[in-house]
Chain A
Amino acid sequence: MTGVTGKTDCSKTTRGLASAILLSTLLGASLARGAEARKPTVESIGNEVQCTCGCVAPVNQCPMLNCSEKAEIRAFISKEISEGKEEKTILQDLSLRYGLQVLSAPPAKGFNLAVWILPGLGLLVGLSLVVVIVRRWNSKPADESPAPPATYDPKVLAAMEEEMKSAGLH
């Protein structure tokens, strides 16, 4: 029987196409991160810094109405900006003043590197798992595909035809 042959040239091409789409999406995503580097403003840094009043939200999003910490941190940021400091330096100064927990994500150094690395690692491990599973499926012996219908008793085929008709198949 013709069966299903698995890999053909066509599927290779499509695989190439699929991975090209995938790659360009990932590439685009990493480009977008690069595009984020702009001149710092109180607002842009306020998104990267946690409010210290206990509200557990970024400074820009602190829901407390009479939060004094928010104003203080913002004043500190705007002072640093007016001194012409860069975003990186400002964030460093903030963490010196308020402690590391003021940054909304820890700097990618030392142990804290793990928080950034593991999601990527998870993605890769997952992908390799998918590939392994697919390989195993593909390598299953092909003789498991059912025998062509013609080899069966006509009585069987007649019963099947009838059932198919009642199931809405011609």
Chain B
Amino acid sequence: MLQTIAVLIAVGMAVFIVFPLLSADTAAGPLPLDVTLLGDLKRRRLVVYDNLKDLEFEFQSGKIAREDYEALRTNYLGEAAGLMAATQEAEQLKQDDAVVEREIAARRATRKSQPKIEYKCQACGYENPLPVKFCGECGARLATPGKK
């Protein structure tokens, strides 16, 4: 009796597991992205701001000399400005309707094949799934994509 119940639970679970495979919902696209380019840039800026805040605090509590503080501060600000510039360029691109079209096309393409190599970053080797000017992984500027 108990054994039968156990078997029924297992079978029920198996049906539950297989169910998504049977669904005729072919409209579902590929897996959504974990990290978008703009999100990644913003997050990296937040890390830099966090570092800046730390630096400020360490300077105020007397842990770090003024000379070091100023040099590091300029350095961090430069880093943040670079990231912000990249964001603005990406946003510019995004406003372009054609880009949206291209993005959709690229996403359709990825469903069937690997991402196009045109968006492979020269600096880190990451294959960006979208047409971008800056690498979604390391932020380096990409060579102009093959097709525009």
Which residues of A pack against B, CB within 8 Å? 1-4, 145-149, 152-153, 155-157, 159-160, 163-164, 167-169
Main secondary structure of the interface of B (DSSP, over half): helix
**Known A-B contacts A155-B88, A160-B81; A168 and B71 likewise in contact (beta carbons under 8 Å):** no
**Given known contacts A2-B74, A3-B75, what 8 new A-B pairs fall within 8 Å (CB)?**
A145-B78, A146-B75, A148-B77, A156-B81, A157-B81, A160-B77, A160-B81, A169-B49
**Interface of chain A, main secondary structure:** loop
Taken together as a complex, chains A and B put the C-alpha atoms of A167 and B42 apart, in Å, by 12
Rounded to whole Å, the gap between the CB of A139 and the closest CB of chain B is 19
Which positions in B face A, CB cutoff 8 Å?
45-46, 49, 52-53, 56, 70-72, 74-75, 77-82, 84-85, 87-88
CB distance from A168 to the nearest CB of B (A): 7
Q: Please pick, from B56, B72, B84, B85, the residue contacting A163 in the complex, using a CB distance under 8 A.
A: B84
Considering the chains assembled together, what is the distance between the CA atoms of A145 and B76 in angstroms?
9
A164 to B76: give the CA distance in the assembly, Å: 12
Give the number of A-B contacts (CB < 8 Å): 64
Decide yes or no: A160 and B71 within 8 Å by CB, A152-B85, A169-B49, A169-B56 being known contacts.
no
Contact yes or no, A146 B82, CB < 8 A: yes
Complex contacts, A148 vs chain B, CB 8 Å? 74, 77-78
Cα distance, A157 to B84, chains bound together (Å): 8
Whether A2 lies near B70 (C-beta < 8 A) is yes
Of all chain B residues, the one with the shortest Cβ separation from A163 is: B45
List chain B residues, Cβ under 8 A from A146.
75, 78-79, 81-82
- Cα distance, A166 to B36, chains bound together (Å): 22
Contacts of B49 in A (CB 8 A): 163-164, 167, 169
Q: Which residues of A contact B53 (CB under 8 A)?
A: 167-169
B85 touches which of A3, A4, A145, A156 (Cβ 8 Å): A156
Q: Which of A1, A4, A147, A160 contacts B84 (CB 8 A)?
A: A160
Whether the Cβ atoms of A4 and B78 lie closer than 8 Å is: no
Complex alpha-carbon distance, A74 and B38, angstroms:
73
With a cutoff of 8 Å between Cβ atoms, the chain A residues found around residue B56 in the complex are: 169
Q: Which of A1, A146, A159 has the most CB of B within 10 A?
A: A146
Whether A4 contacts B75 in the complex (CB less than 8 A), given A155-B88, A156-B88, A159-B88, comes out as: yes
Please tell me if the beta carbons of B71 and A4 are within 8 angstroms of each other in the complex: yes
